[in-house]
Amino acid sequence: MEAFIEFLPFLMFLVLMPLLFSGFPVAFVLGGVGLGFWLLAVALGIENSNSFFLVVSRIFGGVVSKLVLVAIPMFIFMGTMLERSGVAKDLLHTLQLMTRRVPGGLALSVTILGVILAATTGIIGASVVMMTLLALPVMLERGYHSPLATGTIAASGTLGILLPPSIMLVVMADLLSTSAGSLFMAAIGPSLLLALLYLLYIFITTWRNPSLAPPLEITENTEQLSIMMVIRSFAPPVLLIVAVLGSIFGGFATPTEASGVGALGALLLAAFKGKLNISMLQDVLERSALTTAMLFGLFVGATAFSYVFALLGGHEAIIHLMESTGTGPWAILTLLMIVVFILGFFFDWIEITLIILPVFAPVIAKLDFGAHLFDPSLTVHWFAILMAVNLQTSFLTPPFGFALFYMKGAAPKSVKLAHIYKGIVPFVLLQLLGLVLLLIWPEIALWLPSASK
């Protein structure tokens, strides 16, 4: 019986995994498994029946009353409003003219647009669909190789999961009981590194084989690039980025307060461009509320699961298992990264994050990586950013890569799913290369949080 009781935390995962594939809402599965194992623990006499109220108080204190989580609906509203404001269309047109003489100029423009949208919306579905509708028909009309065009759009659209203000980083900060602002700072270097890898790949590939991305033909009717055009296109998103991220990094506002600034800025921007009306506002509010409700339902279920796991001695069991097998910190971290990558083939980032982080972050925090980390107090930050970079692949890897289905739903009928799958392969490899570079040089993520301490 003692051996069975010690095995209970691991049994929770064995029960959870098949149920996640059952089709039931993930929030109910997580909460239901947690409740079921708590009842089992009470029946076995290893838990007091009153401990249920500890789970309830943990949910209330960890989710319901957390002020920092107010940033989530605000950032969702900001991204949804920007999607409807028409900012991206003007920006892409200007970027096309700016890069018309560069090999793969339109693909490079789409990548730059993805970076800017990531820093203003942070909503993957919105970014991918928006760029698919705006850029993919133009790229195909210009004779772009379909896999290159689709891969560029899908990969660039996923940058929003990492580049601040990222909803995922807000969730991670809450789960790790750390500052969202410090995770925002840690994510800037890795996200720009990934964008740079995308740009280099596109430039080198199209320079070696120009037929993959024919340049823009200049005619008498081609609009001439002007300084005013650049200012009109870049000023709105840049000002919004400065208002949100600048206020956080400058110490003028918390992420929660900055999210309100971003939501107001997006509202004013839509009004300035003449896109704001009652019908549009109602649609944005409804979509924002549905997305927020889904996320918070997952928070409640995951909090119940992770807390029952801790009550059953899960963290101690993992540490004891690692100590008994003599597994070193690098082997543990590498194994976790492999597990997260494999889970990304089947689950969304929110499900993986809410399962992995609460269970393994306390374990990672106790590991000693020696002189490899110049600031050991930032070990958990490094782990969170490694997770975030790894989780970008979950949007691109079949069979359940959500970015692929967002794109297929918005793409012209001539674009087949096979083109999309073929196109994302090099970008997934680039994301894994970015993950390896971050493992080798933690300073890519940690220099900015360390400098701000």
pLDDT at 221 over 60: no
CA 182 distance to own-chain centroid: 16
Q: What percent of the chain has pLDDT over 90?
A: 7
pLDDT at 269 over 60: yes
**Can you give the pLDDT at residue 220?**
47
Which amino acid is it at 211?
A: S
Report, as an integer, the average pLDDT of 80-86.
73
**Can you give the pLDDT at residue 222?**
52
Q: Which of 247, 238, 157, 149 is nearest to 195 (CA)?
A: 157
Residue in this structure with the two tokens 């200007």, named with its chain if needed: 94
Buried b or exposed e, range 97-119, using 16+ CB within 10 angstroms: bbbbebbbbbbbbbbbbbbbbbb
pLDDT at 227 over 70: yes
The model's confidence at residue 429, banded by pLDDT at 50, 70 and 90, is very high
Is residue 397 a contact partner of residue 345, using CB atoms and an 8 Å limit? yes
What is the four-CA torsion angle of 351, 352, 353, 355, rounded to 10 degrees?
Answer: 80
- Lowest-confidence segment of 250-254, 276-280, 281-285 by average pLDDT: 250-254
**54 or 438: whose pLDDT is higher?**
438
**387 or 131: whose pLDDT is higher?**
387
pLDDT at 294 over 80: no
Residue in this structure with the two tokens 């209970």, named with its chain if needed: 8
pLDDT at 154 over 70: yes
pLDDT tens-digit series, residues 321-359: 655 666 677 888 888 888 888 878 767 777 788 777 877
The model's confidence at residue 318, banded by pLDDT at 50, 70 and 90, is low
**At a CB cut-off of 8 Å and minimum separation 6, what does 231 contact?**
none
Separation of alpha carbons 130 and 127, rounded Å = 5
Separation of alpha carbons 345 and 20, rounded Å = 13
Report, as an integer, the average pLDDT of 238-249.
78
Report, as an integer, the average pLDDT of 195-222.
80
3-class DSSP state for residue 164? coil
Return the structure tokens found at 232: 């009109």
Residues 235-244: contacts with CB within 8 Å, 24+ apart? 236/87, 236/269, 236/272, 236/273, 237/82, 237/87, 237/91, 237/116, 237/117, 237/119, 237/120, 239/265, 240/82, 240/120, 240/265, 240/266, 240/269, 241/116, 241/119, 241/120, 244/78, 244/165
